[in-house]
Structure formats: C-alpha cells, structure tokens
Amino acid sequence: MPDAATTDRYDTDRNDVDEEFTVDLRDRTFAAVFAWLLPGAGHAYQRRWGKSVLFFTCIMGTFLFGMYLGSGKVVYAAWGKTSDERRLPYLLQAGVGLPAMPALVQANFASRPFGSFMAPPRFPGPNEPPFVARELPDGSVEHYKDELAYWNLVIDDFELGTVYTMIAGLLNVLAIYDAWAGPVMALPDDRRKRKKDGDESDDDAGDKSSKKTPAP
C-alpha cells in the first residue's frame, strides 16, 4: 500500500481563504530531499515552477552574495578540539545542500581535491610556528596565530559573509518544509479569533484534515 503522503494533494477551495489552488506534492519525501540538495529543486520536481525559481534565486543569491562578501572563505567545515577550530556556522550553511558540500570533502581529505576552495584554515599545532601569511615587499613576513586569524584581519566582511551564508541555509529549511508539506496557510481572522477563544475544537480538527486530503 503506498504511503498516503506520497499521493497527498493540497486542496484549498474554501470561501474564507482568498487563495484557490491545488498543489500536487507528488512524493513529498523525494521533494524534501531534492529541496535540500539544491534550493528550488524540490519545487521543480513538484512542477511548482514559480516557487522553484523564487527559492533558487533568493537562497542561492543570498548564499553566493555571502561567499562574495567573505572572499570565498566563509564556507568551510572544521571539527577541531578548540572553539576556533570548530566551525559551527557550517551546520547552518549545510542547509543549502550540494553547494556547501565541497566543504565536507575538503575537510575530510588531506589532499584537498578542490584546492583552496572551501578548504578549512590551517591551525598550527602547539609546537609549530605560527601561520606565515605572506612575504612583504621589504622582505619581512607576516605571522599570524593561524590562517583563520589572518582571514578575519584581511577580509573586511568575513563575519557578514558568514551570516549571509548561514541565513541562506536557514531559509532553505523553510523551503524544504514547503516542499514537504505545502504552504502554511494562515487562519482567517474570525477562525483565528474563535480558536484563541478556545471554542473551535471540533471545527478546527475537521479543517486540518481537509487541508491535506488524499487524492481521490
């Protein structure tokens, strides 16, 4: 017996909602996975082309703008022992799916197959000399505690770029939910008010079941 969720259709034709539409969610699990892999891909799978373009443009635009602000250094994965060596923002950045996956490859292969792209910064060990950034024209060299300290110093918008890419990942979580369950409809004012008053128990239960009814 197929999962009812795979044949769900999202029907809204009530008079008290100012939108009338039918959305075929198709296989919502696949849609959610696709939506995670590439922003908008889940909606393209569901043939919701407008929202697919919207999500892809907004989320990838935010992600790429963050990468631009951070000179391409803000998305990397690192799980070291110190707080500096742990890149917690990556947990959110990974929300955009495949576009952030090179960072995982870079973090887990010492050979760094993608070169410096999304590569984690170098952290010299306790008995190693500090990170040498570059040689200056006068022959002297710049030393920093580690490569991350160097990035924070020379990239003006390193933190801002990090925030942008994190928000892109979080926005894609919303898109994933939308691909899986359809849009979250707001209750009309009178219905919301009655629910707030606590006298809508039976009616509300019926309303919820009507939002996602199996296709006939």
Partner 1 sequence: MFESMLIAMSPANLWHLVPLLTAVSLVYAATRHELLVPITAHAVRFAIWIVVFMAIVFGVIQLIEWFM
Nearer to partner 1, 58 or 133 (CB): 58
User: In this structure, are residues 65 and 165 in contact, taking their beta carbons and an 8 Å threshold?
Assistant: no
Nearer to partner 1, 97 or 121 (CB): 97
Nearer to partner 1, 117 or 177 (CB): 177
- The distance of closest approach from Cβ of residue 60 to partner 1 in the complex, given in angstroms and rounded to an integer, is 10
- The distance of closest approach from Cβ of residue 178 to partner 1 in the complex, given in angstroms and rounded to an integer, is 5
The rounded distance, in Å, linking the Cα atoms of 75 and 120 is 8
Nearer to partner 1, 147 or 178 (CB): 178
Structure tokens at 4: 């009812």
The rounded distance, in Å, linking the Cα atoms of 5 and 77 is 35
- The distance of closest approach from Cβ of residue 198 to partner 1 in the complex, given in angstroms and rounded to an integer, is 24
The rounded distance, in Å, linking the Cα atoms of 108 and 92 is 19
Nearer to partner 1, 1 or 186 (CB): 186
- The distance of closest approach from Cβ of residue 65 to partner 1 in the complex, given in angstroms and rounded to an integer, is 6
Nearer to partner 1, 30 or 65 (CB): 65
- The distance of closest approach from Cβ of residue 175 to partner 1 in the complex, given in angstroms and rounded to an integer, is 7
- The distance of closest approach from Cβ of residue 123 to partner 1 in the complex, given in angstroms and rounded to an integer, is 28
Binding site residues, partner 1, CB under 8 A: 18-19, 21, 23, 48, 50-51, 54-55, 58-59, 61-62, 65, 69, 157, 160, 164, 167-168, 171, 174-175, 177-178, 182-186
